[in-house]
């Protein structure tokens, strides 16, 4: 009964989406108050319907209703209750349902929190999002329905959730990431509505900005969570592999980062309007492309995609319609968009332009690297691979100038600035960073001149430079007031957001560089009772036992790790065999620290009660995710800036302005 | 992030869910470093998207053994990669070689960047001329941002 209800709600949501996606436009076009009002009601109801549908699927999981095919293949009676709930989005059908739920959640939020916008504009925004919902609800309903029954031959027990997904990181990672992916649909809808309306002034940018920032925050956290999860769960100590699935989320993040910056120029200076609109369209298109890549199976191989083409074709056609239609609209309408700003070659406008050019090319690098193997396979007989060596090199080429210019870009003034005077303020800071960077990398290299890594030194210097330059920026900004504290208070919250986010970029950069170049990785053979020296660490194999878990059997080893006599940590890595799937999983044991992680993963049992284990020593690895947290906090500061909270007053003012204008 | 690959491989019944840990012995540290460098650049020909270092497939095991043997025999990285490329094609190389099929991969980002740069310079140059003639403040957006 409950799965049927869920399906029924999904069908109602589909009808609701169609109404929202058509009547809103008609209402906006004819300025029909009733229909505009309807678009708000439909936004609420579609969210409630999707929520109800999602709850139905969740109940089916909790009740172990194995007559539902999706539940049967992704759950099991032995599975703890919290994993049964997270298993709802553990595979294709359910995660699509979550995708749509989040989309309708965004629709609901836009309808609730955009009261200050003109009625016709908001109706169009809701209409565009309604059309996106039509696409995705029908995709769920017709190609990937999670409520399909497996009757009358239902299995007695389920096939279990993939053990890799039985983990906290995976409970929270997909919802976060989807919040980001789908969140970019809001700014996309604003762009399309603006183009339709022919109104793309700075107010448009001001409305879009907080929504873009929220989506970006979720995306940042979602990617960081995924990377953290891969690090501790997959047991090979890696945190980023430039895998197409990872790139699929990185692409909209990069484009979204560029968008945040160009929106700033559009809001403050009325500059780059048409570029900003294009970027808004491209960012969401990359979100859709990511969904296509991940959901169509095209990544396994182009031919696998051709064998089971329904899902892939559906998204591909949808992607083509969305991108094609919005670019067409852009081509027709963008000539009406006029940027009104004057600026010279040395100005913040140009700094932001450089930022956007470099971020756009970085996005392109990731895009071409991800799609190239697919193209080669589709158009030639061969197969090729593009992996970390390509991405690391090419991405660095365009990311180094971003880091180099970032501190200057913060300080440079709008319109016109004096470059020599600007550079002069930073010269000593930059030289100090070079010195510090050399010292730090020299220390990490064990104070030796052999095996010097130029890229490690460069990356460290640049990371320090961004931090130092940002501190210098605070100093320069606060110096304008009488006391330093008064000056600091005068810096607005959105600028503190920028400061924090930029420091986050530096922290992540340092983490990435230092852990990539100064990690120690060693596979050793060890017997119980034995102590093995690994590059200055002594690893002592203390104990070994077999443990019965809720749905697995585990072999657990206990190691004492110490460094030159000082005890560091007791680590208990496990090797689990899951009952239902008989899959073997490594649970790595990690001693986390702000400056280093010690990480042990179990390998295979060797002869004579010996085990092969892998020991990692990873300096600064936490900084990778710490930086992402800083970026997200920066985003939160920026979007809670005063000028967004003063919306209600603004609304009055803007309505008066409109009245005056007419 | 890697979950999908893992799911795919689980579907394909490829055993990969745990790190591969072997204890090869080498003559010196350079050899060991080279070994890790090479196995982290070669793609497992049978897997979804894994290096032979990460993959637990029997083929990867064999390939790691071959790499180890060749390093101990004194072969260079170039020789070993060429050996692998000859047998398994470009597919095994995560570092795509600089050949006509890959030109678009290696050169297009730079070309695109140069085009953007040219457009920017051209437009700003034009703007600079007009802004000197007509230097009205076009600040259409009154911002109440105090940080400026």
What are the tens digits of pLDDT across the range A35-93?
999 999 999 999 999 999 999 999 999 999 999 999 998 898 888 999 999 999 988 89
Structural domain of A281:
201-384
Hey, are the CB atoms on A584 and B141 less than 8 Å from each other? no
Q: Of the ranges A113-122, A255-264, B106-115, which one carries the lowest mean pLDDT score? A: A113-122
Interface of A with B in 187-206 (CB under 8 A): 201-202, 205-206
Distances (CA, A) of A12 to A21, A26, A102, A292, A362: 14, 21, 17, 25, 42
Tokens of A581: 């799937």
Q: Shortest CB distance from A388 goes to which of B20, B94, B146? A: B94
Regarding whether A237 and A338 lie in a shared domain, the answer is: yes
Number of domains in chain A: 4
ipTM of the predicted structure? 0.80
Q: Residue written as tokens 């197409």?
A: A244
| pLDDT for the residue numbered A540 | 92
A302 and A212 together in one domain: yes
CA A324 vs CA A52, A189, A205, A320, A505: distances in Å: 33, 15, 23, 5, 34
Helix (H, G, I), strand (E, B) or coil at A122: helix
**Is the confidence at residue B14, as pLDDT, over 70?**
no
Same domain, A473 and A587: no
Are A108 and A247 members of one domain?
no
Q: How many CA atoms lie within 13 A of A558 on its CB side?
A: 7
Cα-based distances in Å from A399 to A244, A261, A395, A632, B120: 20, 16, 6, 20, 19
Task: Judge: A581–B10 Cβ closer than 8 Å, yes or no.
Answer: yes
Do residues A252 and A286 touch, judged by C-beta distance below 8 A? yes
Same domain, residue pair A528 and A450: no
- The pLDDT value recorded for residue A307 is 56
Structural domain includes residue A114? yes
Residues ≥6 apart with Cβ < 8 Å to B12? B48
Distance CA A401, CA A116 (A): 39
Query: Chain B closest CA to A492's CA: distance in Å?
Result: 5
Q: What are phi and psi of A551, to 5 degrees?
A: -135, 25
- The two structure tokens encoding residue B65: 């053994």
| Rounded-to-integer distance, Cα A199 and Cα A277, Å | 11
pLDDT at B37 over 70: yes
Over residues A371-397, the mean pLDDT reads 88
Nearest residue on chain A to B21, alpha-carbon basis: A603
- Judged by CB atoms within 8 Å, which residues 55-74 of B form the interface with A? none
Q: Identify the residue among A202, A245, A446, A493 best suited for mutation to test binding to B, counting B beta carbons within 10 A and taking the highest.
A: A245
Mean pLDDT for A299-320 is 73
CA distances from B92 to A605, A632, B53, B81 (A): 29, 37, 12, 9
Distance of CA B140 to the CA centre of its chain: 44
Question: Quick check: A389 and B145 CB within 8 A?
Answer: no
A246 and A300 belong to one structural domain: yes
A603–B95 CB contact, under 8 Å: no
Residues with Cβ < 8 Å from A184, sequence gap 6 or more? A212, A215, A219, A252, A256, A283, A284, A287
What phi, psi does A601 have (nearest 5°)?
-120, 140
Residues A365 and A488 in one domain: no
Contact B20 A394 (CB under 8 A): no
**Which residues, in sequence order, are CB contacts of A45 under 8 Å at separation 6+?**
A16
Q: Which of residues 78-107 of B touch A (CB under 8 A)?
A: 89-96, 101-102, 104-106
* Pairwise CA distance, residues A131 & A17, whole Å: 7
Are A436 and A526 in the same domain?
Answer: no
Structure tokens at A75: 């759950």
Q: How far is CA B132 from the centre of its chain?
A: 47
Distance CA A339, CA A334 (A): 11
Q: Which of B23, B113, B120 sits opposite A612 (nearest CB)?
A: B23
Domain B3-97: which topology? Helicase, Ruva Protein; domain 3 (1.10.8)
> Cβ(A256)–Cβ(A182) under 8 Å?
no
- The confidence score (pLDDT) of residue A256 equals 97
Identify whether A95 is part of a domain: yes
Q: What pLDDT does residue A438 have? A: 94
Same-domain check for residues A495 and A533: no
Does a structural domain hold residue A191? Answer: no
| A443-447, A553-557, A609-613, A642-646: the lowest-pLDDT one | A642-646
Task: Indicate if A359 and A212 belong to the same structural domain.
Answer: yes
CB A2 within 8 A of CB A59: yes
| Structural domain contains residue A155 | yes
- Most distant pair of Cα atoms in chain A: their distance: 90
Shortest Cα–Cα distance, B46 to chain A (Å): 11
pLDDT at residue A4 in the model: 94
Q: Are A507 and A527 part of one and the same domain?
A: no
Containing H/E element for A18?
helix A2-30
The stretch A272-292 carries a mean pLDDT of 92
Q: Are A240 and A267 in contact (CB under 8 A)?
A: no
Instruction: Please check whether residue A348 lies inside any domain of the structure.
Output: yes
Of B18, B43, B54, the CB nearest to A584: B18
Residue A574 phi, psi dihedral angles, 5° rounding: -130, 160
Report the residue from B4, B54, B95 with minimal CB separation from A236: B54
Residue A201 neighbours by CB under 8 Å, 6+ apart: A270, B140
Together in a domain, A378 and A285: yes
B44 contacts on A by Cβ (under 8 Å):
none
- Tell me what the pLDDT averaged over chain A comes to: 89
Task: Show which of A358, A384, A410 is a domain's final residue.
Answer: A384
């Amino acid at each position: 009964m409950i799965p049927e209800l869920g399906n029924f709600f999904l069908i109602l949501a589909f009808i609701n989406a169609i109404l929202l996606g058509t009547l809103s436009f008609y209402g906006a076009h004819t300025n029909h108050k009733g229909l505009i009002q309807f678009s708000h009601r439909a936004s609420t109801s579609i969210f409630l319907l999707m929520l109800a549908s999602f709850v139905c699927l969740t109940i089916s999981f909790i009740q172990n209703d194995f007559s539902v095919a999706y539940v049967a293949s992704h759950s099991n009676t032995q599975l703890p209750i919290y994993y049964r709930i997270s298993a709802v989005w553990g595979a294709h059908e359910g995660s699509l349902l979550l995708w749509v739920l989040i989309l309708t959640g965004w629709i609901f939020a836009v309808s609730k929190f955009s009261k200050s916008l003109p009625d016709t504009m908001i109706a169009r925004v809701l209409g565009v999002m309604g059309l996106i919902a039509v696409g995705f609800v029908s995709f769920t309903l017709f190609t990937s329905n999670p409520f399909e029954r497996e009757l009358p031959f239902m299995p007695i027990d389920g096939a279990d959730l993939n053990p890799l997904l039985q983990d906290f990181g995976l409970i929270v990672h997909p919802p976060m990431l989807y919040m980001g992916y789908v969140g970019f649909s809001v700014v996309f809808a604003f762009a399309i509505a603006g183009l339709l309306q022919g109104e793309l002034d700075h107010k448009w940018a001001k409305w879009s900005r907080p929504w873009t920032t929220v989506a970006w925050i979720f995306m940042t956290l979602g990617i960081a969570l995924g990377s953290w999860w891969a690090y501790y769960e997959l047991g090979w100590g890696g945190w980023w592999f430039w895998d197409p699935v990872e790139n699929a989320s990185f692409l909209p993040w990069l484009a979204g980062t560029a968008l945040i910056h160009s929106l700033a120029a559009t809001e403050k200076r009325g500059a780059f309007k048409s570029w900003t609109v294009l970027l808004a369209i491209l960012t969401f298109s990359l979100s859709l492309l990511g969904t296509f890549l991940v959901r169509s199976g095209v990544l396994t191989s182009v031919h696998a995609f051709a064998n089971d083409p329904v899902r892939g074709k559906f998204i591909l056609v949808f992607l083509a319609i969305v991108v094609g239609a919005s670019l067409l609209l852009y081509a027709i309408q963008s000539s009406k968009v006029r940027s009104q700003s004057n600026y010279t070659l040395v100005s913040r406008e140009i700094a932001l332009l450089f930022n956007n050019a470099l971020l756009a090319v970085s996005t392109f690098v990731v895009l071409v690297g991800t799609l190239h193997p697919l193209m080669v396979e589709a158009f030639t007989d061969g197969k090729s691979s593009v992996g970390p060596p390509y991405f690391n090199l090419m991405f660095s080429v365009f990311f180094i100038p971003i880091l180099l210019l970032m501190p200057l870009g913060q300080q440079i003034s709008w319109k016109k600035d004096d470059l020599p005077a600007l550079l002069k303020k930073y010269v000593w800071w930059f030289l100090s960073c070079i010195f510090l960077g050399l010292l730090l990398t020299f220390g990490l290299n064990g104070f030796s001149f052999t095996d010097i890594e130029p890229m490690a030194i460069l990356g460290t210097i640049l990371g320090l430079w961004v931090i130092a330059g940002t501190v210098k920026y605070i100093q320069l900004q606060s110096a304008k007031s009488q006391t330093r504290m008064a000056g600091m208070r005068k810096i607005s919250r959105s600028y503190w957001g920028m400061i924090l986010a930029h420091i986050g970029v530096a922290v992540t950069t340092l983490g990435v560089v230092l852990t990539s170049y100064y990690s120690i990785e060693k596979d050793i053979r060890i017997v119980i009772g034995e102590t093995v020296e690994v590059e200055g660490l002594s690893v002592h194999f203390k104990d070994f036992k077999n443990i019965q878990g809720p749905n697995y059997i585990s072999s657990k080893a206990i190691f004492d790790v110490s460094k030159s006599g000082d005890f560091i940590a007791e680590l208990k890595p496990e090797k689990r065999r899951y009952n239902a799937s008989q899959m073997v999983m490594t649970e790595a044991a990690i001693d986390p620290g702000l400056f280093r992680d010690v990480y042990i993963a179990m390998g295979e049992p060797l002869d004579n009660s010996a085990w092969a284990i892998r020991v990692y020593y990873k300096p600064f690895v936490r900084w990778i995710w710490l930086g992402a947290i800083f970026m997200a906090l920066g985003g939160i500061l920026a979007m809670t800036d005063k000028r967004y909270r003063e919306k209600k007053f603004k609304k009055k003012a803007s309505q008066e302005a409109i009245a005056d204008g007419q | 992030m890697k979950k999908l690959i893992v799911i795919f491989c689980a579907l394909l019944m490829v055993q990969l869910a745990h790190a591969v840990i072997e204890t090869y012995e080498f003559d010196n540290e350079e050899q060991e470093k080279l070994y890790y460098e090479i196995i982290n650049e070669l793609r497992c020909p049978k897997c979804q998207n894994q290096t032979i270092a990460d993959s637990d497939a029997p083929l990867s095991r064999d390939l790691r053994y071959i790499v180890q043997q060749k390093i101990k025999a004194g072969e260079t990285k170039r020789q070993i990669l060429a050996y692998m490329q000859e047998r398994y094609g470009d597919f095994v190389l995560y570092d795509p070689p600089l050949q006509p099929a890959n030109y678009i991969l290696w050169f297009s980002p730079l070309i695109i960047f140069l085009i953007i740069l040219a457009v920017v310079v051209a437009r700003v140059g034009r703007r600079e001329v007009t802004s000197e003639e007509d230097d009205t403040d076009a600040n259409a957006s009154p911002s109440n941002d105090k940080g400026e």
